[in-house]
Amino acid sequence: MRLLATALALLALAAAGCGTGSSDAPRAPQVAGAAADPGTTAYDAALSEPRQDSVYPLVGHAGVDALHYTLDLTWNARAQQLTATETLLFRAATTADQVRLDLARQLTVGRVWLDGRSVPFEHPGKDLVVEAPVRTDSRHVLQLTYSGLPEPVVAPTDRADFSTSGWTIARDGTVWTMQEPYGAYSWYAVNDQPSDKAFYDVTIHAPKGEVGIANGRLRSRTSSSTGTVTSWQLPEPAASYLVTIAIGRFTRTVDTGPHGLPISYWTPTDKPALLRRVRYAPQAVSYLEGLVGRYPFPSLGVLVVPAISAMETQSMVTLGDSQYTLTRDVIVHEIAHQWYGDTVTPDDWSDLWMNEGMATYLAEGNWTSDHGRKSLNQILGRWASFADAMRAQYGPPADYDPDTFGEGNAYYIPALMWDTIRQRLGDDAFWRLATRWLQTHRFTSQDRDSLAAWWSQQSGQDLTPVFTAWLTGPHEPTWHPG
Ligand SMILES: [Zn+2]
């Protein structure tokens, strides 16, 4: 996500329902292919060790290792009602009597099946609790039907550009989502914590004249007198906060990036002028490839929605249509996250800095100095001038107040840290390791201990004290111009 520029200047569950699996229950939904086969190994790249988040422990469930979500979503725009069928292929990460997922109380669950059998469940507050015993490492297919009037959830931040996250309905009726650090559970049943990546297949039934957009590749699109059906496939595992969806009147424009990378732009049909502004994507990818290696996914999309924030949703970047969020440096920032944030993802929200520090260093630091009038030293010098105050106000980057998610401390301070490490290792070694870190940890979630150990081992220097001082220390280390 991109920090709003003005933030710099400021510096300064109720019971919902339950059900039982009665003997006259309807059959479980039919899903084609491996996504409903608990014996498949097709999604083993999504195997992970889910954890309880240290910053937001009430969201996410360490007992579930989601491998693949199949979401079939029907949007009734007039009633603002979502009706859905979900199939979740998962590994039980622990032996338990219940399977728990996050799902907003605004969504009423109809039926739940585990491995084809109707099972009882409860849905108190935001947790869906399925009464079905599972054993560690056993694999299952959980299916459910649900419907309701989705609402966004309150975001744990006082940032000016987002106060809620998840399913959002704009004034013109367009549906969009940005859902960091959580909020995916406002529209599907999910393990909504970033240690648990999964594959996705999403089908969206949109009203007539509208179209549904999700991450990854558009596999099919059909229109009829009743509406438009699109099917999307995300071919690499993603954390739930990197999932996007939009439903509205959008026009698709295709483009080609470096070495034939397919790029698609989804811009509001009534705002054709916006297309020109987002068409910087190919140059952004080229620039970033020069620093941190080949673009990591088989396609890139840029989706423009009625919002004032921007989000690095995986291989389908979501940009608000504000003046600021359509600037080139924001576009570069969100695309930079495709490497730092999406390819390798923090497994705990205390490590948000892993995303924002490097994206800021790449985009607002290096790209800006290479394309503007200020040198890297001038840019970083300005950041260094207020880093102290940010640490004092919001805490160290990796030990922040949970109510101040995504403030400047998670962006500028770790960017200064990376520059300090670059100066110590030299340009060649630094960028080589910054690239190799991604390649050797592709599509996984990592923490700062593994990162610090890896950089130390690879560089032959003990960098742990550097990471510790910048990320969790009480005092701002001194940044020196390089
Ligand atoms: Zn960001």
Prediction pTM value: 0.95
Q: Which residues pair with 17 in a beta bridge?
A: 123
Tens digits of residue pLDDT in 324-381: 999 999 999 999 999 999 999 999 999 999 999 999 999 999 999 999 999 999 999 9
CA of 330 to the centre of ligand 1 (A): 9
CA of 36 to the centre of ligand 1 (A): 34
CA of 226 to the centre of ligand 1 (A): 38
CA of 85 to the centre of ligand 1 (A): 32
pLDDT at 11: 43
pLDDT at 31: 87
CA of 200 to the centre of ligand 1 (A): 23
With a cut of 50, which residues of the chain have pLDDT below it? 7-17, 21, 23
Judging by DSSP bridges, how do beta strands 444-446 and 344-346 pair with one another? parallel
pLDDT at 9: 47
Structure tokens at 273: 């002028």
DSSP letter (8 states) at residue 263:
E
SS3 243: coil
Beta carbons within 10 angstroms of residue 278's beta carbon: 23
Judging by DSSP bridges, how do beta strands 250-256 and 262-268 pair with one another? antiparallel
190 close to 101: Cβ distance less than 8 angstroms: yes
CA of 237 to the centre of ligand 1 (A): 19
pLDDT at 26: 81
CA of 337 to the centre of ligand 1 (A): 7
CA of 186 to the centre of ligand 1 (A): 22
Per-residue buried b or exposed e for 22-60, using 16+ beta carbons within 10 Å of the residue's own CB: eeeeeebbebeebbbebebeebebbbbebbebebbeebb
The whole-angstrom separation of Cα 107 and Cα 188 is 9
CA of 83 to the centre of ligand 1 (A): 32
The whole-angstrom separation of Cα 469 and Cα 355 is 18
CA of 412 to the centre of ligand 1 (A): 11
CA of 341 to the centre of ligand 1 (A): 8
Does the bond joining 465 to the residue before it have cis omega, within 30 degrees of 0?
no
CA of 426 to the centre of ligand 1 (A): 25
CA of 96 to the centre of ligand 1 (A): 37
Nearest to 232 by CA among 69, 341, 107: 69
Residue ranges of E strands in 322-369: 344-346
Q: Count CA atoms within 13 Å of residue 401 on its CB side.
A: 12
pLDDT at 12: 38
Nearest to 142 by CA among 162, 125, 128, 153: 128
The whole-angstrom separation of Cα 259 and Cα 294 is 10
CA of 356 to the centre of ligand 1 (A): 5
> Long-range contacts for 379-387 (Cβ within 8 Å, ≥24 apart)?
380/415, 380/416, 380/419, 380/479, 380/481, 381/479, 381/481, 383/412, 383/415, 383/416, 383/479, 384/416, 384/478, 384/479, 386/8, 386/11, 386/412, 387/412, 387/413, 387/416, 387/476, 387/479
- Give the list of residues 6+ apart from residue 446 with CB closer than 8 angstroms, or none: 344, 345, 346, 347, 351, 354
Structure tokens at 447: 């923490």
CA of 14 to the centre of ligand 1 (A): 33
